[in-house]
């Protein structure tokens, strides 16, 4: 969360200062359980970042259990929860600051180089809430490999290295993900 807050503050701070809401959600955390991807306890983060509202952060954070578990199931379920939350938002334009690994395996199935971005809409008439909605990338960012043109083109489903120790059935999870 610290890395995403630093990025949000530096890139979108001018909007936050003008009153654009900044909602903190643990669903968007990185996918591994490495120390650098586990996060810091909420009380520590609240002191470090008092300008943000921490009431929307699940008190379970930063534990890697349940929805936040580092597994095929956890990553898939967290991606669905993140898309459902995003789809239910009332805003017409939303900037998500997250981590490339989770965005790829849980949300958009696209790769992101550092600081690159992509623009998506939810598919028209897509009422498939079982997967949280299907994202359709704008041609503007899809054809260039991201908004800065720094990211690989194409779709990238979950791979065996995305959930170590769970080699069997990985194709099953990839097939459960919505087709982009």
Confidence of residue 109 (pLDDT cuts 50, 70, 90): very high
Label residues 35-73 b or e (16+ Cβ within 10 Å = b). eebbbeebeebeeebeebeeeebeeebbebeebbbbbbe
**Cα separation, 90 vs 104, whole angstroms:** 24
User: How do residues 34-83 score in pLDDT, each as one tens digit?
Assistant: 888 888 999 999 999 999 999 999 999 999 999 999 988 999 999 999 99
Q: Give 121's DSSP letter.
A: E
Taking CA atoms, 90 is separated from 83, 94, 129, in Å, by 14, 10, 17
Express as a percent the part of the chain with pLDDT over 70: 89
User: Under the phi-then-psi rule, with left for phi > 0, alpha for psi from -120 to 50, and beta for the rest, what region is 161?
Assistant: alpha
Determine the straight-line distance between the first and last CA of the chain, rounded to whole angstroms.
27
Place of tokens 């955390």: 29
Show the tokens assigned to 178: 């919505």
Burial grade of 152 (CB within 10 A; 0-12, 13-18, 19 or more): exposed
Full-model pTM: 0.85
- Does the pLDDT of residue 180 top 60, yes or no? no
């Amino acid at each position: 969360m610290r890395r995403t807050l630093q990025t949000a503050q530096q890139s979108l701070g001018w909007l936050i200062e003008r009153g654009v809401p900044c909602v903190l959600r643990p669903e968007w955390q990185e996918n591994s359980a490495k120390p650098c991807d586990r996060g810091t306890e909420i009380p520590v983060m609240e002191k470090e970042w008092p300008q943000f509202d921490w009431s929307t952060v699940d008190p379970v954070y930063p534990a890697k259990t349940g929805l936040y578990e580092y597994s095929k199931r956890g990553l898939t379920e967290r991606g669905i929860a993140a898309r459902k939350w995003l789809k239910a938002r009332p805003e017409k334009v939303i900037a998500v600051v997250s981590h490339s690994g989770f965005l790829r395996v849980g949300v958009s199935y696209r790769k992101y180089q550092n600081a690159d971005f992509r623009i998506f809409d939810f598919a028209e008439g897509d009422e498939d809430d079982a997967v949280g909605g299907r994202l359709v990338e704008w041609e503007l960012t899809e054809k260039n490999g991201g908004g800065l043109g720094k990211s690989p083109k194409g779709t990238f489903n979950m791979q065996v290295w995305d959930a170590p120790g769970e080699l069997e059935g990985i194709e099953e999870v990839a097939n459960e993900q919505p087709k982009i």
